[in-house]
Amino acid sequence: MRKLHFPLSDEDIRSLKVGDPVLLNGVMITGRDTVHKWMVDTFIKKTRQPEGDDLEVYQAIKPLLEGSAIYHCGPVVGGLDTKQYTFVAAGPTTSIREEPYQGDVMHHFKVKGVIGKGGMGPKTLAACQEVPGLYLHAIGGAASLIAQTVTRVLGVYKYDFGVPEAMWVIEVKDFPAVVTMDSHGGSLHAEIDQKSKTALQALLTQN
């Protein structure tokens, strides 16, 4: 089990391959559908004008994301009334919903890690090779266990998106994950998909 510390270097990324288990340490940010669409529409494709605190948030998150990771997670957060935030549950969200946005976000914000469950598609895999970066599979069904690796909630941006969709800046210690898409073009998800299709075709042929 290899320990990684944010920010990740290109050497860190290139040294890892599909199947490698890792423990993540340092500061990363949560982000789901609303955040990814906001990032792309406002700052990458620029199909909408910044409004409210958009520019202020952009300036704050850009250095935090460089070399770090986005975690596809809609956490359950305690301490909302007092703003003494703690993560109660922090399980991964299905990642494929971010496929239209993820590659662009990785390039623009220099994100090195994407964490979620279920894998992603060819655009994200291409970004993993180019940036370079990794897709890391977190353990589904272990929301409370993962929450215990969150040592501090450092802040929150775009709270107006709602608690699950906001950008929570968290510090983690020994967050467990497995590399399932690497910077060398390897994708465990694509491999499993192809094997499943082959097995299904064989079954259909027999019948």
Least Cα distance to 31 among 40, 18, 44, 20 occurs for 40
Q: Is 36 a catalytic residue?
A: yes
What's the CA gap between 54 and 74, in Å, rounded?
A: 21
Question: Which of 5, 36, 72, 107 is labelled catalytic?
Answer: 36
The residue with tokens 């605190």 is 53
* Alpha-carbon distances, residue 196 vs 21, 189, 202 (angstroms): 24, 10, 10
What is the set of active-site residues? 36
